[in-house]
Amino acid sequence: MNPTDLIYLDNAATSWPKPPEVAQAMLHSMQQVGANPGRSGHRLSIEAARIVYEAREAVAALFHAPDPLRVVFTANVTQALNLALHGWLRPGDHVVTSGMEHNAVMRPLRALEANGVQVSVVPCSAQGLLDPADVQAALRPNTALVVLNHASNVCGTLLPVGEVGQIARRRGIPFVVDAAQTGGAFPLDMQALGIDMLAFTGHKSMLGPMGTGGLVLGPGVDVERLAPQWQGGTGSRSESEKQPIALPDKYESGTSNAVGIAGLGAAVRWVMAQGVDTIRAHEVALCQQMLDGLLAISGVQVYGPHDAARQTATVSFNIIGMTPSDVGLRLDDEYGVLCRVGLHCAPAAHRTLGTFPGGVVRFGLGVFNTSEQVAAAVAAVSALAREVRP
């Protein structure tokens, strides 16, 4: 089957296709620039540094962050979250999170817990919904951080980051948001939402290449407390054997992924040119069409809030009587529908949803999907479900 004939519904894992500007920017970086940004004073190194800085500006604009120099590039959102969590928390500190988190949050927290950090996991409903009052009730005098994902990577449920951000701000507690599933697909204003540290990945709804991501630091984050998790050459203060304190160099040791960052910058500019509100409206319409279609099929169980306005365009389901792996394999082989099955690196979320350990089938819709593709995917699921319940 020609790749253009496939129905790609795995955008929650990584977006595809990408805007053509992304590959063009990466090719330009490799063929016409090529130099190491910030490591030399010649024209190509300066041009490489300019491209990286313009990407910082684009990311800062996307998230309404006031200072591009507080956009710290990392290899992915997992690395960004590790920087935020390991860099901020100390033994004896308390941290609050939710029962819908990805292992990119839970594994660092469990490692920190083993070294004296106290972890509270606030339960969510069976639809993945979180009551902000429960977060407030979990706070303690030694709470040093609140960390939440903005949306579940399993079922798309949006968590109330704005309400939690205001609760944390009133208590003077830094608030970290994992925006892996919403960056580029949902309007995000760090200042309005009370987000102090926003972790993002470039390769999902921001439509950039893999190997890109970062942590955006709000103006109130004390960078003296936030410890770098790796040290080394930065191209600055080379006379000193101590890590520089200037941003973003403090957190960006080693040669950066300049080619990937060039692609990320182009992707973010494309997203902003389309308009995040426009992208969100398109995905809401597709998501509701998908939800309505799947909910109408006998023998199909759909997870999450069943309301496109309360989730991202990620829809998870099971066909009762078929394993998720069998459903995914047959959707691919027989219908050209590409999706993801299993536990999605989020066992906490699956326990909340009641789908652990079997997992689910996940359809991740994106900006380039169409109504016709949604209809075809629903028809494919319906055909499989009829085999179990004619």
Rounded to 10 degrees, what is the CA torsion of 37, 40, 45, 47?
90
The pair of structure tokens assigned to 10 is: 């795995």
In degrees, rounded to 5, the angle at the alpha carbon of residue 66 between the alpha carbons of residues 49 and 34 is: 10
Q: Where are the beta strands (DSSP E) in the chain?
A: 7-8, 71-74, 94-98, 118-122, 143-149, 175-178, 197-201, 213-217, 300-302, 314-319, 337-338, 340-342, 360-364
- Alpha-carbon span 131 to 115, nearest angstrom: 29
The DSSP 8-state label assigned to residue 159 in this structure reads P
- Alpha-carbon span 22 to 231, nearest angstrom: 30
DSSP string, 273-315: HH-HHHHHHHHHHHHHHHHHHHHTSTTEEE-S-S-GGGB-SEE
Residues 207, 270 contacting (CB under 8 angstroms)? yes
For residue 146, what are the β-bridge partners?
A: 96, 175
Q: Which residue has the tokens 């006998």?
A: 298
C-alpha to C-alpha distances, 236 to 46, 254, 258, nearest whole angstrom:
14, 11, 17
- Which listed residue (124, 155, 287, 345) is catalytic? 345
| Pairing relationship of beta strands 143-149 and 71-74 according to DSSP bridges | unpaired
171 CB-near residues (< 8 Å, 6+ apart): 139, 143
Q: Is 339 a catalytic residue?
A: no
| Pairing relationship of beta strands 197-201 and 314-319 according to DSSP bridges | unpaired
The length of the chain is: 390
Active site (catalytic) residues: 345
